[in-house]
Structure 1
Amino acid sequence: MSASRRQDREILRLAVPAFGALVAEPLFLLSDSAIVGTLGTAPLGGLGVASQLLTTLVYLSVFLAYGTTAGVARQVGAGNVRAGIRQGVDGMWLALAIGAGVVAVGLPMVPWLVDIFGASPEVDPYARTYLAISLLGVPSMLVVLAGTGVLRGLQDTRTPLLVSLGGFSLNLALNAVFVLGLDWGIAGSAWGTVIAQTASAAVYVAVVVRAAQRHGASMRPDLAGLRTAASAGASLFVRTAALRLVLIVGTSVAARMGDAQIAAYQVGFQVWTLLAFALDALAIAGQAITGRYLGASDAARVRAVTRRMVVWGVGCGVVFGLAILAIRPWLPSLFTSDPDVRHLLLASLLIVAVLQPIAGVVFVLDGILIGAGDGRYLAWTTLIATVVFLPAALTSYWAGWGLTGLWCAIGLWMLTRMVTLGARARGDAWLVTGAVRHPREDVATT
């Protein structure tokens, strides 16, 4: 079997289950929405407000998965599976600590957090109820993120897929019983989700405990390990926050353009998000493979896999772009009968299609550099790309360029990221080999 074929099999072995797990996650809120929708408009609106806050929290905490994946994979590549599991355990303890802090700080702030979204008097009590109960599940939710990172670092993306599917099924069943059967209202939906999240976290803990026992790793929290995990996650948090800012500003600009514009933008962005799941699965494979090979001090293989994964990213992007163009004439009719929204969406989808190959390169290189532990560079360059995006997005509004201008601003943002990530990947500064990437090496190479 050729080297390229072996690389392809390794990439697909990790990426395909990762894609399934990524798609399964949004089904939690989708199933909640379907069941809560039977209660009426106000409860559904309350769920919408609370879920935006919870989704933002999860998005900002994804560093718990990414940072843990990179650290564990590097140790596994170096042959130190015990040390890798120990590092993963520290990540899970950090997740639990952050989750407990969120609960302690967030519960008293529930009324204020809901008010930020300007919920109507009818929607407000439902949003408060759902958010207050759901916050209790945040520690479990964050442990799931860290546990996912541990298993990915151990080159296992199949177990996270199974846990995601099991959690979704349990959440759906409990929501049906609590909301439709026991008539607990929106509180029943929240409790069903909390229980499902807790059960998922328990599965991850059990899997990691079993692995720790098998390799003789301690499950007790280690202060130095917690500091290391927090330090590794700080840069990734900045990177993720900058990405979230772009999404928020994009939605805000579209909303100020008019009702038809925000409607078309939301549909176009959902198409973008769906395709991003597939590209993110490649990025996750890149994290795990890169960390393992760098840990094994095999920089040449990292180079080879990087080139192969970029080919995969471009190839997937081209296929996705062509698929969008193929269904573009009919897609708007699936979402709206408004001729203005359809016209705007048709124009938006052209740009979304063109951007897919660029997005493929960006997602792949982002995942590879995360796997290399190059978080500081990612943080700075993501901030630079965001600074490029913000004036372009605001100009599209002030100059009256409409959604086409806004999507072009997003294209400029992606292009900036591709250039900065590509420049890094062509160099050698990120290729730090060995079991540990020392902080001073990050400083010296940024």
Structure 2
Amino acid sequence: MCTEGGSPLISATGRPEPTLDRQIVALALPALGALVAEPLFVLVDSAVVGHLGTEPLAGLALASSVLVTVVGLCVFLAYATTASVSRRMGAGDRRGALQLGVDGMWLGLGLGAVLGAALWLAAPAVIGWLGASGGVAEQAVTYLRWSAPGLPGMLLVFAATGALRGQQDTRTPLGVAAVGAVVNGVLNIVLVYGLDMGIAGSGLGTASVQVAMGLVLGLVVARAARSAGATLRPRSAGVWASTRLGMPLLARTATLRAAMLLTTWVAAGLGAVALAGQQVVGAVWALAAFALDALAIAAQALVGHALGAGELDRSRAVLRRTLQWGVGAGVAAGVLIGGGSFLFVGLFTSDEGVQHAVTSALLVAALFMPVAGWVFVLDGVLIGAGDGVFLAWAGLATLAVYVPCALAVRAWAPDGAAGLAWLTLAFTGVFMLARAITTGLRARTPAWQTLGA
């Protein structure tokens, strides 16, 4: 029997003890809440700005797509910090763990300041590249420029959240995200309508809340760091080390974003029905991904801690059990998406052609949700193990497999519902299966199990 802190992990029969299940649930459920709270910012902005008119809402759609892309590429700050902090915690080096958390936060602040300034300056050009003009372009630029100052706060939230997850604390980020979502809604209404700032008020409100959230989470990590004897000053060596750890994960995330953009481009070539349907399918897929990512976050923290503590058996136990949870959650998600698609598709559109396209595509996606559960958990395990370099190369390999399949769909698939179904099969089938095979083969070897801090 393996133990961690006196808690049994593996029984004499080789089956995982409930203790491990409780650890997974205790980490995953708050993580899920925090993950779901974040998209509420975009939904609130859309609901508030939508009542200003068509041009402001169209401008928000363009501007938010730019912001989501920029911020999404920086999610490596959370992942890399979670992995490094959890390993140090497992090794018993709490001071070193929190020092890495502080270094990660300084990196997030610096990167956010640079990106925020660049986005403010380049906003007109970026919106122009997206093909917008006239009033829509003006609204989009306004929103980008008023929200750009919030980027340091957004990236500070990522780094601080990673530091807390590395300490197996997912409840604090949940609390801050939940309060932030509520405050964001109230502040947006006050600024947009009460002070008559229009779309600028929405950008300012969201930026202000993100900065406040970053400060709150940053103070939580800073207090813990000071109590452990870590310095709060920026250390060039530490910030550079955080950068090196994060670059492979940035490359890996870039390949995922490229696959998603390619999917949208192919859908656009299959006609208006397919493109409209892809918007709905993508939204449903993203919601399911948030749920499965919560298990990946639990896997990151538990695997990193186990390897830092030098416990190979425990890391394998976490791998096996989280995979079981991931596949099981994927099956449940598939049943809900496939079985419920006939019921909820009408909430998104009244167009019967688009409804048919969405329903057909979601049935295809539902079949591969267990594969997605497997993939997301394995991603979490390998990120927690610090295996970012492999994930970067695997991302390039899987993208290379997906590109010709996506291009074939664009060239030969029929327009409309059938084309969207083929595109969904290419993404959820070929792309996700390729990710499942590469990460699954890696997990079968001991190469990812590097021990120590």
* TM-score normalised over the length of structure 2: 0.94
Asked if residue 267 in structure 1 is aligned to residue 280 in structure 2, the reply is yes
**What corresponds to 1:149 in structure 2?**
162
1:366 deviates by 0.3
**What corresponds to 1:340 in structure 2?**
353
**What corresponds to 2:421 in structure 1?**
404
1:42 deviates by 0.7
**What corresponds to 1:431 in structure 2?**
449
1:206 deviates by 1.1
Cα distance in 2 for partners of 1:163, 1:116 equals 35
The one of 4, 12, 15 aligned to 2:28: 15
Cα distance in 2 for partners of 1:66, 1:28 equals 21
The one of 172, 178, 181 aligned to 1:168: 181
**What corresponds to 2:5 in structure 1?**
none
Asked if residue 132 in structure 1 is aligned to residue 145 in structure 2, the reply is yes
Cα distance in 2 for partners of 1:404, 1:112 equals 35
**What corresponds to 1:233 in structure 2?**
246
> Is the 8 Å Cα contact of residues 365 and 425 (structure 2) preserved in structure 1?
no
In 2 relative to 1, CA 189–328 (structure 1 residues): closer, same or farther, beyond 3 Å?
closer
- For residues 41-91 of structure 1, the C-alpha deviation after alignment (integer angstroms, 9 at most, x for no partner) is 111111111111110011100000000000000000000011000001000
- For residues 360-379 of structure 1, the C-alpha deviation after alignment (integer angstroms, 9 at most, x for no partner) is 00000000000000000000
Which deviates more, 220-229 or 363-372?
Answer: 220-229
1:408 deviates by 1.6
Query: Helix, strand or coil: the match of 2:200?
Result: helix
Tell me which amino acid in the other structure corresponds to 2:171.
Answer: R
1:407 deviates by 1.2
> Is the 8 Å Cα contact of residues 329 and 346 (structure 1) preserved in structure 2?
yes
1:133 deviates by 1.4
Cα distance in 2 for partners of 1:43, 1:271 equals 25
- For residues 209-232 of structure 1, the C-alpha deviation after alignment (integer angstroms, 9 at most, x for no partner) is 210121111111111111110000
Tell me which amino acid in the other structure corresponds to 1:296.
Answer: A
Tell me which amino acid in the other structure corresponds to 1:426.
Answer: R
- For residues 381-406 of structure 1, the C-alpha deviation after alignment (integer angstroms, 9 at most, x for no partner) is 01111111111011011112511221
**What corresponds to 2:260 in structure 1?**
247
**What corresponds to 1:387 in structure 2?**
400
- For residues 257-286 of structure 1, the C-alpha deviation after alignment (integer angstroms, 9 at most, x for no partner) is 111111111111211111111100000011
**What corresponds to 1:287 in structure 2?**
300
1:301 deviates by 0.4
**What corresponds to 2:216 in structure 1?**
203
Tell me which amino acid in the other structure corresponds to 1:343.
Answer: H
The one of 427, 436, 439 aligned to 1:421: 439
Cα distance in 2 for partners of 1:33, 1:334 equals 16
1:338 deviates by 1.8
Query: Helix, strand or coil: the match of 1:433?
Result: coil
- For residues 108-147 of structure 1, the C-alpha deviation after alignment (integer angstroms, 9 at most, x for no partner) is 2111011111113121111111101111111111111100
**What corresponds to 1:71 in structure 2?**
84
Query: Helix, strand or coil: the match of 1:39?
Result: coil
The one of 104, 128, 136 aligned to 1:123: 136
Tell me which amino acid in the other structure corresponds to 1:140.
Answer: G
Cα distance in 2 for partners of 1:248, 1:229 equals 28
Query: Helix, strand or coil: the match of 2:197?
Result: coil
The one of 95, 109, 133 aligned to 1:82: 95
Which ranges of 4 or more aligned residues in structure 1 deviate by more than 3 Å? none
State the superposition RMSD in angstroms: 1.1
Query: Helix, strand or coil: the match of 1:421?
Result: helix
Cα distance in 2 for partners of 1:364, 1:281 equals 9
> Is the 8 Å Cα contact of residues 4 and 308 (structure 1) preserved in structure 2?
no
* TM-score normalised over the length of structure 1: 0.96
1:244 deviates by 0.2
**What corresponds to 2:290 in structure 1?**
277
1:94 deviates by 0.7
Cα distance in 1 for partners of 2:382, 2:161 equals 19
Tell me which amino acid in the other structure corresponds to 1:423.
Answer: L
**What corresponds to 2:4 in structure 1?**
none
- For residues 234-267 of structure 1, the C-alpha deviation after alignment (integer angstroms, 9 at most, x for no partner) is 0000000000001101011101111111111111
Tell me which amino acid in the other structure corresponds to 1:162.
Answer: G
The one of 163, 171, 190 aligned to 1:158: 171
**What corresponds to 1:57 in structure 2?**
70
1:325 deviates by 2.5
- For residues 140-185 of structure 1, the C-alpha deviation after alignment (integer angstroms, 9 at most, x for no partner) is 1111110000000011000000010111111111111111111111
> Is the 8 Å Cα contact of residues 119 and 144 (structure 2) preserved in structure 1?
no
Tell me which amino acid in the other structure corresponds to 1:104.
Answer: A
The one of 221, 232, 235 aligned to 1:219: 232
